[in-house]
Amino acid sequence: MDLKKIEKVSKIYLKELISSFAKIDKLKKLRFFSGIHFKDALSQFNKRIEKYSRATRESNKVWNKVELSRSGERPQCRDYIKGIFEDFTELSGDRLTGDDSSIVAGLGRIGGRTVAVVGHNKGRNTNERIKHNFGMGIPQGYRKSCRIMKLADKFGFPVITFIDTPGAYAGLEAEDNGQSAAISGSIRLMFELNVPVISVLIGEGGSGGALALAVGDEVAMLENSTYSVISPEACSAILWKDSTGKKLAARALRITSKDLLKLGAIERVIHEPIGGAQKDPGRMIKIVKKYINDALGRLGKYQPEQLRLKRAEKFENIGFFTYG
Amino acid sequence: MDLKKIEKVSKIYLKELISSFAKIDKLKKLRFFSGIHFKDALSQFNKRIEKYSRATRESNKVWNKVELSRSGERPQCRDYIKGIFEDFTELSGDRLTGDDSSIVAGLGRIGGRTVAVVGHNKGRNTNERIKHNFGMGIPQGYRKSCRIMKLADKFGFPVITFIDTPGAYAGLEAEDNGQSAAISGSIRLMFELNVPVISVLIGEGGSGGALALAVGDEVAMLENSTYSVISPEACSAILWKDSTGKKLAARALRITSKDLLKLGAIERVIHEPIGGAQKDPGRMIKIVKKYINDALGRLGKYQPEQLRLKRAEKFENIGFFTYG
Amino acid sequence: MDKSQKHKCEACGKDIEQEVLIKNLNVCPYCGHHEYIGCRRRLDITVDEGSFKEMDSDMRSVDFLKFRDLKKYSQRLEEAREKTGLSEAIITGEAGIEGYGVAIGVMDFGFMGGSMGSVVGEKIKNLCNRSIKNDIPLIIFSSSGGARMQEGIISLMQMAKTVSSVGRVMACNIPYISVITNPTTGGVSASFSTIADIIIAEPGALFCFAGPRVVRQTMKKDIPDDFGLAERNLANGQVDMIVSRSDMKETLARLIRLLRG
Amino acid sequence: MDKSQKHKCEACGKDIEQEVLIKNLNVCPYCGHHEYIGCRRRLDITVDEGSFKEMDSDMRSVDFLKFRDLKKYSQRLEEAREKTGLSEAIITGEAGIEGYGVAIGVMDFGFMGGSMGSVVGEKIKNLCNRSIKNDIPLIIFSSSGGARMQEGIISLMQMAKTVSSVGRVMACNIPYISVITNPTTGGVSASFSTIADIIIAEPGALFCFAGPRVVRQTMKKDIPDDFGLAERNLANGQVDMIVSRSDMKETLARLIRLLRG
Ligand SMILES: [Zn+2]
Ligand SMILES: [Zn+2]
């Protein structure tokens, strides 16, 4: 047995390994047990170690991406806005009951045309993070976003969204104010927009709170961003009944840009400077600016009706199933 | 001097009378004062008493209407709904942050067709009145109303509104939740409706809170209902600097159905059973039902575009002014 | 099933005879608690007898991610199928309700917590298309813990997919009624179930985006006992009405009559 | 006016030299308090020099109800005209803002509390028509205690009238920017001023439907110090931004540039 390899296996796998090792141990002690069978069992056991250590290795790699995607060092929504759009003017409030500082919205100019920009902003230091509620949206935020997107639709401005959120805020008030309907309403509105919609996942793409802003004609992910139906931690708590499974969950969920491109859930991966966006924020922002400009060019050739139809078709065609 | 007449003059006028009487008294004492002048002054003074006592008489009459229009004995929104519409189904909530029980909304059938119904309900006894917040709407109510009107617009259902409110609720939370925008939003939406809109003032039509539901193609007032830009009490407090002017204010503001018809602010006065709606609620409800059916017939001949245009024209043409 | 068998009400703890419980549509006769019922039973008590024609009955989930937690996804699917006798967490089809033709979908919490994966999404899409094609109202009974983790990002995308599909129905001015049953949370509450013309909830149904446990954790304090319940949602403006199981069919028929003008 | 004369800030109580105050656009240099300025001054500091072309300058209110409280309406009008040198509570016209043509209306609280009667309504309607005819953005600076009681129900109807008019501008996809200045309440806050594409408020402006006194009376308890203020409205989602007087022109020009695509 290769003990070194076992060391590299995730805790949760270890439990399984130990229990099967105990079985082998029992087998050894059995009278009718033949050496050949024992060898088979041991080889199977070793294969298992091999498999588990590979899974663990991969999980660790994915987990690094998770941490990187969440890193406060990466450029954030406000950085992209500042670096990409001229005349950016922030617009506040849902005109209903409040303003959500975790979601930034406004108008700006790129390539000589006006666009609406909406995005999650997490904030960098503790104060900022608290102020922005760590990028976790509340209904007022999604409704503000809807208001600005409607404004954009009315005036024919393309919509650019930046996604970077652990997920919608799980608070009592948020629930009482209709978090569910705010998210579904945002998704629905984005399908109704007659203008090009470009969504860029710049960091963490957490669940429904991310999707609420990510119904784009083109959805792009930065190389080291992640996008997931549930946080690996929560997934682990539910499925592995244990928080230590978070890295395995991160791998199992397929949340990297590469995975999502392969699955057809996004259109494009935007490559980052070597070592990640945080190594050269200026260049990263330029790359994203170029992407947005190019995407605007690509989408500019479609009529409003076509855009809506293609957007609906794209999302309605996602899914894997079989018959019989 | 006719002292009996003076007794019938409103307190506020009395102050003026007393001060002018004091002047006459002074005149009498003046040396150069001739009898003829004195007689003139006295006759003017008597004319004034006459004028003031007429105004007071009229004010009292109008005030009776104010009290009648506010009477808890009159049929209320829910009574009309029950008596007029089949299959009425109440719909709750603004799908944003709350439900307002001072405003009832739902779908029902009349003459074999579906209509949307929205109205203020004040409630009759103390418990009901508290539950319905005395018919004073909050933003959630106007937004619920908008939601149901949009539903009606989508499905092509005419909209019937019943107005009976002291005005929008003047509370901190209501203001924080955007009372102004809720009211203006409701007015705006009603101009955008592609379906016939019939508004019936059944009791008290208080200010912006009433107008928010009263942008009808036909606006009708029950004979003894009132409709005013401000409550006579509040008007008196501001303009007469004194609450005792409320009856004078009620007269000055011209708030009766007759006045409003004359001013062109409404289309129709619906006559009440002798003594008022409360004397025969059943008949009153039948009369209103007939009115609604007739109005639906009248408005049914217009195309959506025509309805919108006529509605806008009608309200945009209201106003008295001159040049130079 | 032994009809004289006793059943303890989950809410009030009183014993109910099985026969009474079933007659009462699995609603406790003492406290009105609405118990879980499976989607077949729901259809039985909601649509006209013999009127239901199932669609996509042979559509099956596939383990395209080779997802494995403590169990393989494929194994979980197998177990759910065996346990429920259903092929997936939703059953869809055409039916009549008091004679009105409808496109109806009913989710079943018993199948992997009613979680929405590709099959639920696709079945809803097909149901929507049927609704549009035949110009019949759309009714969906929701009951779900949310998106199906085992299908990763693809299950998140079903939120967008279903919203788009029901959105197309609504854009055709075809009535869409969403019925919230216990529980409706997460990816289902934040997608097709909350953008209907009319939203009805069953009494006592949990209806929220984040569940009470998660919210308690986030808030680091106690939350009200009625957190996320249908009644609280009514007060919060999120549902049009709360309708008890015994009134549901009549209410749906009346709403269709009204919405059909 | 003696330029060396001192002026006491209403907010912080500090003495400000008249000259400094004027240079500072009547904003207190110590505490930033934005003082009342009349509509002519507002135009001066907002539009390009000499660009303003007034509309309806000869439109006059009439006392069609023969309204008399302690004074006659006609007398109140006369006094207001004398006091302000204005013909009514709003001045409207075409102007340039950094070269962009706009249809602009500016209310003046000094004229009968900026109350909206028939003339204010009609002037706004005509302004909207000009905006549509010339395809130029609409900008209205509000400052009003609400509807003009002396015109009874007709003043209430101006709420509907102005909403309809600005609604037509917006339906043409012509930008409409509403600027809230101190105070904007009642019939003006609940009509044209709150349905704009963009709503800007001046710092510290009171902006509410029911004023603080009325609300305190209704609630029968104290209300927060910042009740109805622009800053509270920003937090409550009712305004897009708070812009100080010195930044107003630049901001309007930028917004027009943005909204014009
Ligand atoms: Zn029970
Ligand atoms: Zn100061």
| Domain definitions of chain C by residue range | 1-35, 37-260
Is the domain of A217 the same as that of A289?
yes
pLDDT tens track for D150-169 = 999 999 999 999 999 999 99
ipTM of the complex model: 0.95
Whether chain A has a CB inside 8 Å of the CB on B147: the answer is no
Is the domain of B222 the same as that of B131?
yes
D121 CB neighbours in chain B (<8 A) are 318-319
Q: Chains B vs A: touching, with 3+ CB pairs under 8 Å?
A: yes
User: CB–CB of A96 and B176 under 8 A?
Assistant: no
Residue B109 lies in a domain: yes
Whether residue C3 is predicted with pLDDT greater than 70 in this model: the reply is no
Share the mean pLDDT of chain B.
92
Give the residues of chain B that fall short of pLDDT 50: none
Whether residue C78 is predicted with pLDDT greater than 90 in this model: the reply is yes
pLDDT number for residue A43: 81
Share the mean pLDDT of chain D.
96
User: CB–CB of D241 and A114 under 8 A?
Assistant: no
Is the domain of A91 the same as that of A191?
yes
pLDDT number for residue D2: 58
Whether chain D has a CB inside 8 Å of the CB on A173: the answer is no
State which residue of chain C sits closest to B155, comparing Cα positions.
Answer: C173
Is the domain of A17 the same as that of A93?
no
D207 CB neighbours in chain A (<8 A) are none
Is the domain of A144 the same as that of A283?
yes
Distance, CA of D251 to CA of A245 (rounded, Å): 52
CA of B281 to nearest chain C CA: how many angstroms apart?
27
Is the domain of A133 the same as that of A31?
no
Is the domain of A185 the same as that of A43?
no
pLDDT tens track for B258-275 = 999 999 999 999 999 999
User: What architecture (CATH level 2) is domain C37-260?
Assistant: Alpha-Beta Complex (3.90)
Better-predicted residue by pLDDT, A23 or C57? C57
B181 CB neighbours in chain A (<8 A) are 95-96
**Banded pLDDT at C2 (limits 50, 70, 90):** low
Whether chain D has a CB inside 8 Å of the CB on A74: the answer is no
Is the domain of B101 the same as that of B207?
yes
Mutant choice from A96, A99, A146, A183 vs B, greatest count of B C-beta within 10 A = A96
Residues 6+ apart with CB under 8 A from A165: A102, A120, A122, A135, A136, A137, A204, A205, A206, A209, A210
Percent with pLDDT over 70 in chain D: 98
Is the distance from CB of D186 to CB of D146 less than 8 angstroms?
Answer: yes
Is the distance from CB of C130 to CB of C94 less than 8 angstroms?
Answer: yes
Residue A14 lies in a domain: yes
Residue B253 lies in a domain: no
Residue A235 lies in a domain: no
CA of B152 to nearest chain C CA: how many angstroms apart?
9
State which residue of chain D sits closest to B311, comparing Cα positions.
Answer: D164
pLDDT number for residue A314: 98
Distance, CA of B93 to CA of C235 (rounded, Å): 7
Residue A249 lies in a domain: no
Is the domain of A26 the same as that of A82?
no
Alpha carbon of D255 to ligand 2 centroid (Å): 29
pLDDT number for residue B281: 97
CA of C195 to nearest chain B CA: how many angstroms apart?
9
B107 CB neighbours in chain C (<8 A) are 255, 258-259
Whether residue C247 is predicted with pLDDT greater than 90 in this model: the reply is yes
Give the residues of chain A that fall short of pLDDT 50: none
Q: Where are the beta strands (DSSP E) in chain A?
A: 86-90, 103-110, 113-120, 159-165, 197-206, 218-222, 226-228, 268-270, 321-323
Range of the domain at B313: 77-227+265-317
Is the domain of A13 the same as that of A88?
no
Structural domains in chain A (count): 2
Distance, CA of D95 to CA of D48 (rounded, Å): 7
**Nearest beta carbon to residue D234 from set A96, A99, A114:** A99
pLDDT number for residue C39: 97
pLDDT tens track for C203-212 = 999 999 999 9
Residue B255 lies in a domain: no
Whether residue D96 is predicted with pLDDT greater than 80 in this model: the reply is yes
State which residue of chain D sits closest to A147, comparing Cα positions.
Answer: D197
Residue B88 lies in a domain: yes
User: Using CA atoms in the order A260, A263, A265, A271, what is the torsion angle rounded to 10 degrees?
Assistant: 40
pLDDT tens track for B70-101 = 999 999 999 999 999 999 999 999 999 999 99
Q: Which of A70, A87, A108 is the last residue of a domain?
A: A70
Residue A147 lies in a domain: yes
User: CB–CB of C228 and A230 under 8 A?
Assistant: no
B324 CB neighbours in chain D (<8 A) are 58, 60
User: CB–CB of C258 and B87 under 8 A?
Assistant: yes
pLDDT number for residue C23: 95
Is the domain of A97 the same as that of A193?
yes
Is the distance from CB of A170 to CB of A137 less than 8 angstroms?
Answer: no
Residues 6+ apart with CB under 8 A from C83: C110, C111
Q: State whether residue B220 is helix, strand or coil.
A: strand
- Length of chain C equals 261
Alpha carbon of D67 to ligand 1 centroid (Å): 66
**DSSP letter for each residue of C51-112:** --EEESTTEEE--TT--BSSSBHHHHHHHHHHHHS-SSSEEEEEEEETTEEEEEEEE-TTTG
Is the domain of A134 the same as that of A29?
no
| Chain B contacts in chain D segment 160-179 (CB below 8 A) | 160-161, 163-165, 167-168
Whether chain C has a CB inside 8 Å of the CB on A208: the answer is yes
Q: Which of B70, B89, B112 is the last residue of a domain?
A: B70
| Chain D contacts in chain B segment 255-294 (CB below 8 A) | 255, 259-260, 263, 265
Instruction: Give me the CATH number covering residue B286.
Output: 3.90.226.10
Q: Which of A17, A49, A70 is the last residue of a domain?
A: A70
Mutant choice from C75, C164, C218 vs A, greatest count of A C-beta within 10 A = C164
